[in-house]
Amino acid sequence: MSQYLGVMGLQIPKRLDSETEQALIHQCRKRNFDAFGKVVDAYQARVLGFVKRMVRNPEEALDVTQEVFIKAFTAFERFDGRCSLKTWLFRIAYNLCVDRSRKAERSLTEVSIEASDPESDPLEFADERWSPIEMLMTDELQLVVEEALRTMSPKLKTVLLLHDAEELAYEEIASTVGVPVGTVKSRLFLARAHMKAHIEEYRRGEVQ
Amino acid sequence: MKEEQNLITKLKGEMALSAEESTELDALLDSSSSIGNVIRDLPHEEPNLVWRSQLNEKLSVLAEKPKRRIGLWKWASGVVVVGAASLAVWSVVNTRTPVIATTNTTIADSTNFEDQLMQSHVESAAAMDVSSAYALDVVSSKETSYTGEEEWSTSDLESL
C-alpha cells in the first residue's frame, strides 16, 4: 500500500472517463486505498476550489477538503451510484461547509443583489450586457470575480459555483441543496446578475 | 418593464413562476451564460504535497481498521432485545400473585342482608353449642356449682 499517492497521483489525468470512474468506484467500495487515491487526485483541486470560496478562511478550507475525502472514504460503501461521483463529493463538501458555517454561527442571511448599487445596477434584461467579448479573464478581473463571490449570499454562491464552475445539472444541484429546480434557476440568475454588477462596476472604473 | 420587475421580485422571493415566466427565465439564463464562462475559467489551486501526505496518513489509518460488522451487530442486538421482551412477557403471564378479596360473597349476593346476618349468627351460635369445649364447660359447671335451691328433707337425713 503506497503512502505516497500524492506524488503518484500527479501523473494521473484530472478528468476521469466514465469507464475508469466506474472501475475506481468498484474498488473504492472495497476500501481500496490506491483506488481512492486516484479519486482524490482527480477531484482534490476542484473540491478545494469550491470549499475555499464557501468558507473563506484558506486554512479552514484545507481542513474541510481533507474532511470531505475522509468522509467519502469511510462512507463509500453507501455510495449507491444514483448520482455521479463528482456530484456525491460536492454534496459532501456542501454539507460540511454548511455545518462549519452553523458551528461558527455565521450569518447565512441573503445578501441582496441590490446591495451593490441599485442605480448603477438596474437589472435590465438587455442581452448585450452579457457580451462575451467583455468577459475575458484577466488577473485583475479574477480578483473582481473573487470579490463578488465573497460578497455573495451563500445560497446564490453555492448554485453559481456548482452550476457554472463544476457544471452540475440543475437537478443535481437541486438534490444537493434540497430545493426545487425552479429555485436553483432563480438563484443562478440572481447570482449571475450579482456577478455582472460587480464586473460592470470594475469596467466602468477601468474606463475612467 | 413592469413585467420584468415583477419577475425579478418573484425571483428574489423564490416564489413560484408561471409557465411564461419560467420560459423567460430559461431565456435569461441562456443569455447570461457568458458569466458562467467567467466562473468556469476561475483557476483551481492544487493542494500541496504536505496536505496530501497528511490526508494519506489519515486514510491509511482508516484503511487498516477492520470493517465493523454493523449488520451482524444489528442482528445480534435485535435478537437480544426480542429475547428480553419475550422473557418479560412470559414472567408477567406466569407469575401467580396473591389475590386480595373480601370473603363475604354469600352475604353480598343475598337480597336480604339482615336475614343473612341473622342466619349467620344462629349458625355460629349452634356451632358453639355443639362444640366440645362448650359441652365440657357445661358439664363441669353442673358438677361443681351448688346454687342451694335443693334442700335435704328429714326423711333423707334419716335414711342416712
Going from N- to C-terminal start, the domains of chain B cover: 2-40, 112-142
Range ranked top by mean pLDDT from A129-133, B79-83, B156-160: B79-83
Q: Where are the alpha helices (DSSP H) in chain A?
A: 5-9, 18-29, 33-55, 58-74, 85-103, 139-150, 154-160, 170-177, 181-207
Task: For residue B63, give every residue at least 6 positions away whose Cβ sits within 8 Å of its Cβ, in sequence order, or none.
Answer: A1, A31, A33, A73
3-state DSSP call for residue A113?
helix
Residue B37: its chain A contacts at CB < 8 A?
A: 132, 135, 164
- Please say if the pLDDT value at position A156 is more than 90: yes
* pLDDT score for A66: 96
* pLDDT score for B110: 54
The band of B68, judged by pLDDT with boundaries at 50, 70 and 90, is low
Q: Tell me whether residues B57 and A195 touch, CB distance under 8 A.
A: no
Summarised one tens digit per residue, pLDDT across range B103-148 is 555 555 556 788 888 888 898 888 887 765 544 444 444 555 555 5
Whether residue A13 lies within 8 A of chain B, CB to CB, comes out as no
Summarised one tens digit per residue, pLDDT across range A26-59 is 989 888 888 999 999 999 999 999 999 999 788 9
Residue that wins the pLDDT comparison between B47 and B129: B47
Q: Give the nearest partner residue to A145 out of B28, B32, B42, using CB atoms.
A: B42
Summarised one tens digit per residue, pLDDT across range A63-72 is 999 999 999 9
Distance from CA of B9 to the nearest CA of A (A): 11
Q: Give the nearest partner residue to B59 out of A36, A45, A192, using CB atoms.
A: A36
Whether residue A66 lies within 8 A of chain B, CB to CB, comes out as yes
Whether residue B30 lies within 8 A of chain A, CB to CB, comes out as no
Poorest-confidence range of A121-125, B13-17, B60-64? A121-125
The band of B100, judged by pLDDT with boundaries at 50, 70 and 90, is low
Residue that wins the pLDDT comparison between A125 and A41: A41
As for the ipTM of the complex, it is 0.73
With beta carbons less than 8 A apart as the criterion, state whether A168 and A85 touch.
no
Torsion of CA B44, A187, A137, A13, to 10 degrees: 30
Mean pLDDT, residues A144-169 taken together: 93
Mean pLDDT, residues B75-88 taken together: 85
Q: Is B38 exposed, middle or buried (0-12, 13-18, 19+ CB in 10 A)?
A: buried
The band of A141, judged by pLDDT with boundaries at 50, 70 and 90, is confident
Instruction: Provide the percentage of residues in chain B whose pLDDT is more than 70.
Output: 68
* pLDDT score for B160: 67
Domains of chain A, with CATH numbers?
5-103 (1.10.1740.10), 113-207 (1.10.10.10)
* pLDDT score for A126: 45
N residues, chain B: 160
Whether residue B107 lies within 8 A of chain A, CB to CB, comes out as no
Mean pLDDT (chain A) is 80
- b or e along B4-31 (b: 16 or more beta carbons within 10 Å of the residue's beta carbon)? eeebbebbbebeebeeebeebbeebbeb
* pLDDT score for A177: 93
Distance from CA of A84 to the nearest CA of B (A): 19
Identify the residue among A65, A125, A200 best suited for mutation to test binding to B, counting B beta carbons within 10 A and taking the highest.
A125
The band of B72, judged by pLDDT with boundaries at 50, 70 and 90, is low
Residue that wins the pLDDT comparison between B83 and B151: B83
Range ranked top by mean pLDDT from B13-27, B49-63, B91-105: B49-63
With beta carbons less than 8 A apart as the criterion, state whether B60 and A4 touch.
no
* pLDDT score for A175: 93
- Looking at chain B, which residue has its C-alpha nearest residue A59? B51
* pLDDT score for B148: 56
Phi-psi region of A96 (alpha: psi -120 to 50; beta: other; left: phi over 0): alpha
Summarised one tens digit per residue, pLDDT across range A72-118 is 999 998 898 888 999 999 999 999 999 988 877 654 444 444 444 43
